[in-house]
């Protein structure tokens, strides 16, 4: 009989989660252009049939350009995967997304949780300890300011889950980071609703093993 592998004692090789309805994922390591093409094709298929061909082509090219820009910005922050809404809600495109970043190694600060958090997110303003699928970590809630160098025009609500990857040696941390400009105010009711939606998504987060 084959040997049974105790996955609880091995280091995860990935993750799974359940995104909200109407969201899709763009992988940033490979397959990026194929995912963008799939999203654009699906979006175009949902448009009315009576749209002039030239307008349809312009809309398609503009969406490709926008998604490539968003993917590039996410990749510059060491993101592995970009999750974003691709369907409108009540006629509105949700101004939100979240990324899963490349694992980080914290400096040698022992196991003190405060030191780990301060080394990974020195600008964290509000945080709490969490446990997700058996992994200890932090939920960090704050506001990211505009950044002209990265073509970010507006302040945004930012919620991050920083999770220690089980059995990683040296210890590594995975960050899942949500961002929304909501209705232009990071402290608005819409911002809270979208942050709550992200928190609900994180309850479905699970480590995966090869």
Within a domain: 51? yes
82 lies in which domain range? 17-86
Considering the domain architecture, whether residues 57 and 74 belong to the same structural domain is answered as yes
Secondary structure of 168-189 as H, E, C letters: CCCCEEEEEEEEECCCCCCCCH
Considering the domain architecture, whether residues 155 and 186 belong to the same structural domain is answered as yes
Res. 114: pLDDT tops 70: no
Q: pLDDT tens digit string along 137-148?
A: 889 898 887 776
Considering the domain architecture, whether residues 65 and 141 belong to the same structural domain is answered as no
Res. 166: pLDDT tops 70: yes
Within a domain: 4? no
Within a domain: 3? no
Considering the domain architecture, whether residues 71 and 174 belong to the same structural domain is answered as no
Positive or negative: CA dihedral 6, 10, 14, 19 = positive
Q: Classify 164 in phi/psi space as left (phi over 0), alpha (psi -120 to 50) or beta.
A: beta
Secondary structure of 102-153 as H, E, C letters: CCEECCCCCCCHHHHHHHHCCCCCEEEEEEECCEEEEEEEEEECCEHHHCEC
Q: pLDDT tens digit string along 40-76?
A: 988 766 655 666 666 668 878 898 999 999 999 999 9
Q: pLDDT tens digit string along 79-92?
A: 999 999 988 777 77
Considering the domain architecture, whether residues 100 and 204 belong to the same structural domain is answered as yes
Lowest mean pLDDT among 13-22, 47-56, 195-204: 47-56
Tell me which of 31, 61, 86 is where a domain ends: 86
- Residues sharing a CB contact under 8 Å with residue 67, sequence separation 6 or more, in sequence order: 26, 36, 39, 40
Residues 198-202 have a mean pLDDT of 97
Considering the domain architecture, whether residues 52 and 99 belong to the same structural domain is answered as no
Considering the domain architecture, whether residues 68 and 153 belong to the same structural domain is answered as no
Tally the domains of the chain: 2
pLDDT of residue 50: 60
- Exposure b/e, 134-162, CB count within 10 A at least 16 = b: ebebbbbbbebeeeeeeeeeebbbbbbbb
Considering the domain architecture, whether residues 180 and 121 belong to the same structural domain is answered as yes
Within a domain: 5? no
Considering the domain architecture, whether residues 110 and 48 belong to the same structural domain is answered as no
**Taking Cα atoms as reference points, which of 26, 134, 29, 28 lies closest to residue 86?**
26
Considering the domain architecture, whether residues 103 and 185 belong to the same structural domain is answered as yes
Within a domain: 106? yes
Residues 13-29 have a mean pLDDT of 94
At 205, list the tokens.
Answer: 């987060």
| Residue 150 belongs to domain with CATH number | 3.40.1000.10
Considering the domain architecture, whether residues 78 and 103 belong to the same structural domain is answered as no
Positive or negative: CA dihedral 146, 147, 151, 157 = negative
Within a domain: 140? yes
* Average predicted confidence (pLDDT) for the chain: 83
Considering the domain architecture, whether residues 26 and 100 belong to the same structural domain is answered as no
Q: Please tell me the distance from the alpha carbon of residue 172 to that of residue 107, in angstroms, as a whole number.
A: 10
Task: Say if CB 209 and CB 189 are below 8 A apart.
Answer: no
**DSSP H/E element including 23:** strand 23-27
């Amino acid at each position: 009989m084959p040997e049974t592998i105790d996955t609880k004692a091995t280091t995860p090789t990935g993750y799974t989660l359940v995104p909200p309805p109407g969201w899709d994922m763009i992988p940033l390591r490979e397959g990026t252009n194929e995912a963008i093409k799939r999203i654009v094709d699906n979006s175009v298929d949902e448009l009315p049939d009576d749209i002039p061909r030239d307008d349809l082509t312009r809309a398609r090219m503009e969406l490709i350009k926008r998604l490539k820009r968003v993917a590039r910005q996410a990749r510059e922050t060491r993101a592995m995967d970009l999750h974003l809404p691709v369907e409108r809600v009540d006629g509105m495109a949700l101004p939100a997304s979240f990324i899963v970043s490349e694992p980080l190694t914290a400096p040698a600060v022992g196991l003190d949780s405060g030191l780990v958090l301060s080394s990974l997110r020195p600008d964290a303003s509000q945080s709490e300890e969490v446990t997700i699928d058996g992994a200890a970590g932090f939920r960090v809630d704050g506001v990211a300011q505009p950044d002209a160098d990265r073509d970010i025009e507006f302040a945004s609500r930012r919620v991050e889950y920083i999770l220690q990857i089980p059995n990683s040696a040296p210890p590594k941390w995975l960050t899942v980071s949500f961002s929304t400009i909501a209705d232009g105010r990071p402290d608005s009711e819409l911002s809270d609703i979208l942050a709550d939606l992200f928190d609900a998504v994180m309850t479905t987060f699970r480590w995966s093993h090869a």
